[in-house]
Amino acid sequence: MNTYELIDSGNGRKLERFGSITLDRPCSQAVWSPTNPTLWKQANASFTRKEGLKWNGREKLPDSWMAEINGVQMKLSITDFGHIGVFPETRAIWDWIRSRVSTESKVRREPLQFLNLFAYSGGATMAAAQGGAHCCHVDASKGMVQWARQNAEINQLKEHPIRWIVDDVNKFLTREIKRGRQYDAILLDPPSFGRGKSGELYKIENALLQTLQLVHKVLSTSPSFVYLTSHTPGFSPIVLKNLIAQKLGQGQFQCGEMLLTGNDSGFSLPSGTWARWESKN
């Protein structure tokens, strides 16, 4: 079941339905005109960056609410930065990961070891766990890891084998290499700019190469896939593909845009990029 929908987009904004709540938020890629301007009256609240970060109608919204997105129940909540606890453009990736780990686990007759880096509120972790993978969820934000744990409980995955790690990603990977711990499948969604657990600075143009080198070292001897996603301007699908091709070596490669989609009458909305490496084995 899916209770998310991109209702319309245009004039630098997007109108989305998340369960019972409809939100109007900025989206610089939507340079066209809205398909149906009257639909925007449905918005329960809107967010703007024109005069500082501000929600209009925030007082009308619940502290949190639920939406089911491609088979994953997600707790959502308004934040001061305009985010709500999910990036629905990644939902097609959730579906792919769920299917892949389920199929491969049956072939291998054992669960895949799945590592989710910069894992945010855990949509992909939930999907991998639903597919049967044993998971490790890593994010530098203690609050986001707690949010992801709540999502695991909501999806009846509280007792599923998931390691919850609050740490700087590169420091975590370095320690995992020393421990000899390996993973069959890895997803990473590095920020353009971020801070680690202890205030470590992460700038994607400087830190991503090191991250990918470390990712390569924690891959198991029989790896399945590595998925790299990005919302950073300039990091096109080909840029991401070139990065993982250089750092991961021979394999099968695919890349593309992450899209927000809705009804047939609306435009698909590009919202980031992805590249994927799969083992030839």
The whole-number pLDDT of residue 228 equals: 98
* Location of structure tokens 């084995």: 281
Of 13, 23, 119, nearest in space to 62 by CA: 23
* Residue 114 and residue 66 in one domain: no
The whole-number pLDDT of residue 195 equals: 64
Residues 193, 204 contacting (CB under 8 angstroms):
yes
* Residue 253 and residue 184 in one domain: yes
pLDDT in tens, 138-172: 999 999 999 999 999 999 999 999 999 999 999 99
CATH code at position 256: 3.40.50.150
CATH code at position 49: 2.60.40.1180
Domain assignment present for 170:
yes
The whole-number pLDDT of residue 266 equals: 74
Domain assignment present for 255:
yes
Residue 22 half-sphere exposure toward CB, CA atoms < 13 A = 13
Domain assignment present for 82:
no
Distance CA 70, CA 18 (A): 12
The whole-number pLDDT of residue 192 equals: 80
The residue from 55, 76, 97 where one domain ends is: 76
Q: Name the residue range of residue 32's domain.
A: 4-76
The whole-number pLDDT of residue 47 equals: 95
Residues of the chain falling short of pLDDT 50: none
pTM above 0.85, yes or no: yes
Task: Give CA angle at 176 (171, 181), nearest 5°.
Answer: 165
* Residue 66 and residue 191 in one domain: no
The whole-number pLDDT of residue 52 equals: 83
